[in-house]
Amino acid sequence: MPEHELHLTVGSRFENVELVQAAIDEAIAARGADEDARHWVGLAVREAVANAIKHGNRQDPDKRVDVAVLIDSEAVEIAVADEGSGFDPSTVRDPLAPENLFRTNGRGIFYMRRFMDEVSYGSTASGGTLVRLRKRFAAERTNGQEP
């Protein structure tokens, strides 16, 4: 059962990335998350929301980004949904492949996967993209690895 829930709906404007990240940071800080976890979650959230605005909603000011956050004693789970036409993450090129090192696309997904413990993609009922991010808090991490 979540100890804390947060729901935000923001317009497709890049200045809202900061707002969402700050609200989530405050919520997980209140839970007692350490600065390291807050930093990595913040970076991943920024990427997810920026991708929803830029790629999902194509910066259409009439479209929204919905963010749902569940925090319990073990982890934070964040769901970011856009109102776009959908997305297949398998089509994104590996940013570490030699031919892609100087490309700017694909890095956000790579960073989210690196910074979070779990990242998954799905679709919303209206066909948009839904990305789910999960980060276990330091005391409960089982893999012992840091980003």
pLDDT in tens, 62-120: 999 999 999 998 999 999 999 999 777 776 666 556 665 566 666 678 889 999 999 99
Please compute the mean of the pLDDT values over residues 8-16 and round it to a whole number: 97
Residue 66 has a pLDDT of 98
Domains in the chain: ranges and CATH: 4-137 (3.30.565.10)
Which residues on neighbouring strands pair with residue 129, listed in sequence order?
123
pTM of the model: 0.85
* Separation CA 59–CA 123 (nearest Å): 19
Walk across the sheet containing 4-11 and list its strands. 4-11, 64-71, 75-81, 129-136, 118-123
Among all chains, which residue has been given the structure tokens 């998350």? 33
Q: Which residue has the higher pLDDT, 26 or 103?
A: 26
Which residues on neighbouring strands pair with residue 75, listed in sequence order?
136
Q: Which residue has the higher pLDDT, 138 or 3?
A: 3
Whether the per-residue pLDDT at 141 is higher than 50: the answer is: no
Residue 91 has a pLDDT of 67
Structure tokens at 43: 């970076």
